[in-house]
Amino acid sequence: MALHIADLVEHAVDAVPDRTALVMGETRMTYAELEARANAFAHHLQATGVRTGDRVGLLARNVPEHVVAMLAVFKVRGTPINLNYRYVEAELDHVLGDAGVTALVHERQYSGALGDLVARHGIGSVTVIEDGSTEEPAHPVTTWADALAGRSEERDFGPRSADDVFIVYTGGTTGYPKGVMWRHEDVWRTLGGGIDFVTYEPIEEHDQSRAALTTDPFVAVQLGPIMHANGQWGMLLRLFGGNTLVMFPSFDPPQIWRAVEAERAHGISVIGDAMARPLIEEYERELAAGTPYDARSLRTVNSAAAIFSAEVKGRWLDAFPEVMLTDIIGASETGFTGNGRIDRDNLADKGSVVRIGPQTVVLDDDDRVMDPDSEIGAVGRMARRGSIPIGYLNDPEKTARTFVTVEGERYAVPGDWVQIEPGRRLTLLGRGSNCINTGGEKVYPEEVEVALKSHPAVFDALVLGLPDPRYGQQVAALLEPRPGVDLDVDDVQRHLRTRISGYKVPRTVRVVGSVPRHVTGKADYRSARELIDQPAGIAPSAAGGAR
């Protein structure tokens, strides 16, 4: 029993080889075709010197070659290193050096961002994916077509180990990203379906692929970029189960809804409001125009990795009353920690409310495990035991701070604060590193953002702390108005006072053309701090955003 990512995908290939695995624009691949291409590229990697444990950088959008390359790296027991295609040269320099990347796969359009980094880091093998760009790399490359030409498509690789290391680099919203190291078995147990997400019971190695033999495929529209943990594991989870993935190189709501129609999609996975809001607004617009999209096939919509506000959730419930909406919470350092079905009864101006996940606990300030049945209303830090990461790559100090031992048991404690709710549920308040301390009171930005987004004129919001000579910190907010709407800041603040305590209401507010977000939908705090320093009025738009 290997419990290795490559083995788990291969089990699905063997079970349903003729089933469609990927739909990406005009490209369609069965499991057998995906396997053949991944085997061919794996043999190319071996020919260029990639061996067990070597790290291969992947710098690409959601394109077919990215999926093939990732699976090929796993097949030869290498470690794919996710590179955000929005990174500039300094950020790429950091990750390539920190990870010790020895081979690289990138789309041609990112050649300029790489500059001379290939030579600087001594990367020996580079494969370029053609994307229509005419950018000339400053380093020698092998084209994707040449890399596959003449390579064997047979699966003739050696045995693998559940102890092989998987690395995912975190988003880096407040600094350079860190590589989180997992054993393959542990990350599968937390993110890849190695537990039943309903019963929370562990499953066996072949359970996912065996289920594919007796069930029709679930057609999943996966919107998260696969250079991010959310997108990677949304994709891998579906592949392990022999399902069909529909993916896109960029976020385009009309294109996505047309694909839902054409593929008779059963589910959509989004990253919070950054994706859910423009999607539902496109659906509502076409419905009002009398040309609705046919989305009758939809069964589920789930959100993870960013705020899914009450206002946007309500619009999805109105449009799709029979569809199951789900909030999922977790982190790169914990994996899955809880999920919860969204309905009218739990639709409130607060963060995600979820069932406590398997091996998830709440710790108080003294690292005591709190009782979710008797300490209702208490606030603490979310933690997970059992299948958790090894630690951070090249950072023993951060590893020691995040992975702590309590009463002889090791926990991952990434800093997410939660409130205990009745019925063994948790409300996610936000990351402690972003918590604002104003006059001794703690303010969690996500709670204020959810309240801000409930105002009808606010399209998006981002809350952060600013230095304050009297209170230590003050609450500040960037607000993006709805298109064509004049946003009255005083009215927004009056609205807030009906929903949150007065000390949580932002004292500094800037109206901006666009709230700065990374392509994953996560906040870009560096750009946000630059915008918050702009004079009053509408500040210029910032780069980024999933819209």
SS3 of 291-304: the string is: CCCCCCCCCEEEEE
Cβ–Cβ contacts within 10 Å for residue 216, how many?
10
List the beta bridge partners of residue 125: 103
Which of 473, 485, 476, 493 has the alpha carbon at shortest distance from 513? 485
pLDDT band per the 50, 70, 90 thresholds, residue 247? very high
What would the DSSP string read from start to end of 375-437?
-TT-EEEEEEESS---EETT-HHHHHHHEEEETTEEEE---EEEEEETTTEEEEEEEGGG-EE
Query: 511, 537 in Cβ contact below 8 A?
Result: yes
Q: Is 440 helix (H, G, I), strand (E, B) or coil?
A: coil
Task: Provide CB contacts within 8 A for 312, sequence distance 6+.
Answer: 273, 276, 277, 280, 453
Mean pLDDT score, 196-211: 90
- Percent of the chain past pLDDT 70, that is, above it, reads 95
pLDDT at 208 (0 to 100): 96
Average pLDDT over residues 16-30: 97
Confidence grade of residue 14 (pLDDT, cut at 50, 70, 90): very high
Q: Boundaries of CATH 3.40.50.980 in the chain?
A: 5-10+20-197
165-169 vs 179-183, strand pairing mode: antiparallel
The answer to whether 268 and 316 are in contact (CB under 8 A) is no
Cα dist. 314→256, 307, 429 in Å? Answer: 21, 14, 20
Q: Which two tokens stand for residue 342?
A: 């969204």
pLDDT of residue 161: 97
Is residue 170 a contact partner of residue 177, using CB atoms and an 8 Å limit? yes
Rg (CA), the chain: 23
Q: Which CATH class is domain 5-10+20-197?
A: alpha beta
The top-level CATH class assigned to 435-539 is alpha beta
Three-state secondary-structure class, residue 285 = helix
Q: Which amino acid would we find at residue 332?
A: S
Question: 512 pLDDT exceeds 80?
Answer: yes
Selection from 54, 60, 18 nearest residue 36 by Cα = 18
Distance CA 463, CA 540 (A): 17
Q: Coil, strand, or helix at residue 486?
A: coil
| 279-302 pLDDT tens trace | 999 999 999 999 999 999 999 999
Whether 545 shows a pLDDT value over 60: the answer reads no
pLDDT tens digits for range 132-185: 999 999 999 999 999 999 999 999 999 999 999 999 998 654 467 899 999 999
Give ranges for CATH 3.30.300.30 in the chain: 435-539
pLDDT digits (tens, 9 = 90+) for 106-142: 999 999 999 999 999 999 999 999 999 999 999 999 9
- Of the pLDDT bands very low, low, confident and very high (cuts 50, 70, 90), residue 541 is very low
**pTM for the full predicted model:** 0.85
